[in-house]
């Protein structure tokens, strides 16, 4: 079966989308059907953005995956098995469609989230990047890009980044 037929099949089975949903968010939301739809969209976008940072260096480590699962479970209240599923879907979608979906998903999250929720996500992005004990330059740049897309101020970004300075490879001489 061609990728076009698979994608068409997935789209035809998804719930009726709102005009602002991306295909990525809809697929993850489908896995979260038992949740209230707005909370499911929020969780789907949150998980995708976490995976976006984990994949910034083209390698999602086991430590990063475990951190994402814990964060999604804590955020959503989902049982561990469902949080694992959400993270796996988000990781797959990030790897397959990251170049096209990154901005769209972050833009959708930006519309849904309060400033406090955006800052909480920013903190979680650094936590995922630091899960393997080092935040690479490419991960740091991706987090900065996401902070900009979330319309967070530079000082807000720096305040959170400072909490993770011991993990920044640029400050530790690592590559």
- Does residue 4 lie in a domain region? no
Largest CA distance in the chain: 50
Q: Across the chain, what does the average pLDDT equal?
A: 85
In this predicted model, what pLDDT tens digit does every residue of 85-138 receive, in sequence order? 889 989 999 998 888 899 999 999 999 999 999 999 999 999 999 999 999 999
Please indicate, yes or no, if residue 9 is contained in any of the structural domains: no
Q: How many domains in the chain?
A: 1
Domain containing 102 equals 22-172
Domain for residue 71, yes or no? yes
Question: pLDDT per residue over 153-164, tens digit each?
Answer: 999 999 999 999
Say if residue 173's pLDDT is above 80: no
Assess if residue 91 is contained within a domain: yes
């Amino acid at each position: 079966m061609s990728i076009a037929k698979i994608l068409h099949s997935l789209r035809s089975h998804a719930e009726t989308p709102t005009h602002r949903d991306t295909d990525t968010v809809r697929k993850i939301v489908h896995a979260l059907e038992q949740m209230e739809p707005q909370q499911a969209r929020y969780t789907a976008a949150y998980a995708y953005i976490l995976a976006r940072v984990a994949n910034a260096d083209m390698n999602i480590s086991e430590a990063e995956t475990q951190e994402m699962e814990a964060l999604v479970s804590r955020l959503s209240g989902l049982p561990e098995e469902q949080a694992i599923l959400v993270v796996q879907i988000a990781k797959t979608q990030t790897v397959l469609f990251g170049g096209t979906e990154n901005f769209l998903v972050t833009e959708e999250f930006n519309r849904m989230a309060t400033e406090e929720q955006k800052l909480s996500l920013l903190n979680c992005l650094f936590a995922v990047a630091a899960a393997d004990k080092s935040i690479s330059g490419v991960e740091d740049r991706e987090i900065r890009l996401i902070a900009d897309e979330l319309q967070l101020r530079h000082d807000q970004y720096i305040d959170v980044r400072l909490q993770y300075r011991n993990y920044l490879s640029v400050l530790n001489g690592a590559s």
